[in-house]
Amino acid sequence: MFLIALVVACGPAESGPVGETVPDNQLYGKTPAHLYLSGQFDPYSHPDFLSLEKAGIPASRKGMVLRKETAEAIKQMLVRFKKDNPDIQFWVQSATRPFYSQKGIWEAKWNGQRKVNGKDLRTIKDPLQRARTILEYSSMPGTSRHHWGTDFDINSLNPSYYKTGVGKRIYEWMLANAPDFGFCLVYTEGRNGGYHWEPWHWSYRPLAAPMLRDWNRLYAEKKIKTSFSGSESAFHLAPEYVNTIGAACK
């Protein structure tokens, strides 16, 4: 833990690149890796997580948390953002989501309680097709990068917001500057498969890259275990969606 604190305290520098990945034995604390990576732990009491309020990071609502390293890098990035864009507000729209939160999103869409593009998905009888429709923008529980404390969404979850005006300015600034602080855009344009383009979804690579490798290893070892509506039909799709990401995040 002392080494993590030292890395955070010393960087990332405002004008320089962020450090390399965190050693594996410092990624999960006392939480078993397979539970951490599938979101089956409590991030709100985990010692490596920090509330955005305490970090001084603008957020859409109270109670959100991220890994301390992620939060510190966002704070460093915001110094430059505010200097370059004094007239634009920047906030975190969504942060860490435990398994049960992701399951709630998935189940609501699966069971028709929450429409997808105006459609009640109960009208899709093929479970695999129904799952793929949800997977356009929502992860299966146990497969979401939002479980890890490394990933967050900014400002708006509407793609059109980032094509004009303030949203476009934010997006272009992030593409040019966020990598200096260790961040990468996860779901870029032009990928062959996986989730749709998400210009709002950013990840802290120094932590997320080794976590992604561990998730793939544990999935192959059948240690990532989850249960949700449609899981028997769709969970085999998980590696496709988990790994079809922007090159900078790999």
Average pLDDT on 92-117 reads 97
Q: What is the dihedral of CA 90, 69, 184, 16, to 10 degrees?
A: 90
The rounded Cα 50 to chain-centroid distance in angstroms is: 15
Pairwise pLDDT comparison (13 vs 44), residue with the higher score: 44
Domains present along the chain, CATH in parentheses:
102-249 (3.30.1380)
**In 2-98, which ranges are continuous DSSP H helix?**
2-10, 33-37, 52-55, 68-84
Backbone angles phi, psi at 133, to 5 degrees: -65, -45
Is the per-residue pLDDT at 20 higher than 90? no
Task: Tell me which DSSP letter residue 201 carries.
Answer: E
pLDDT digits (tens, 9 = 90+) for 28-53: 999 999 999 999 999 999 999 999 99
Structure tokens at 58: 């603008």
pLDDT digits (tens, 9 = 90+) for 195-237: 999 999 999 999 999 999 999 999 999 999 999 999 999 999 9
Query: What pLDDT is attached to residue 6?
Result: 34
Percent of the chain residues past pLDDT 90, beyond the cut: 90
36 backbone φψ class: left, alpha, beta (φ>0; ψ -120 to 50): alpha
Query: What pLDDT is attached to residue 11?
Result: 42
pLDDT digits (tens, 9 = 90+) for 64-77: 999 999 999 999 99
